[in-house]
Structure 1
Amino acid sequence: MVSRYGVKIRKRVSEILAIKNRRYECPKCGKKRVKRVKNALWECGACGYTFAGGAYGPETTVGLTAKRILGSIKPQ
């Protein structure tokens, strides 16, 4: 980016882009081959597994909280 818009916003944008472009671990096969395909759409390059996630990361904080709560509920 050019030197406009202030340092704070440029640092924040670079952090978000680093999170978005990082490779993540596949929930199905376990390999670190998950990349962002489109907005909130993630795909594993190894097994081809496609799933919906967050806009900039495959899991959101709300999703992790819901997963933790649902995991603690035991079926009767």
Structure 2
Amino acid sequence: MPKKTKGKAKKSGITGKYGARYGAVNRRRTRDVLNQMKSKNITCPQCKTKNTVHRVSTGIWKCKKCGAKFTGGAYSVQTPRGAESFRVTDRKQRELEMIEEE
């Protein structure tokens, strides 16, 4: 009687549903994007709570707790370009506040 083997290690994760189709590289890229999109570490920019943000449609995200609706990337809440823009705007706002105080 042959030995009972353990199941194969699951590298595929969320893309296991595709089986052997579409190629390894495409499945890996899809897995990374879907894991980022369904991450539990997504924080609402308005109320700062984790795991309350979900995607409404492409690039539109909504917080379940505070109801804030905002734009972002197609698969992530904030794109690298959007994060850079936010930092610049925040810095300019602080500079203006410092000038007004003087």
Q: TM-score range by the shorter chain?
A: 0.7 to 0.9
Gaps of 5+ in 2: 1-17
Gaps of 5+ in 1: none
| Greater CA drift, 13-22 or 66-75 | 66-75
CA RMSD of aligned residues (A): 1.4
More strand, by proportion:
1
**TM-score, normalized by length of structure 1?**
0.86
**TM-score, normalized by length of structure 2?**
0.67
- Which residue of 33, 43, 50 maps to 1:25? 43
Q: Which has the higher contact order (CA 8 A, sep 6+)?
A: 1
- 8 Å CA contact 1:21–1:36 kept in 2: the answer is no
Report the equivalent of 2:14.
none
State the aligned residue count: 76
- Which residue of 10, 26, 45 maps to 1:9? 26
Structure 1 Cα separation of the partners of residues 88 and 66 of structure 2: 28
Structure possessing the higher radius of gyration over alpha carbons: 2
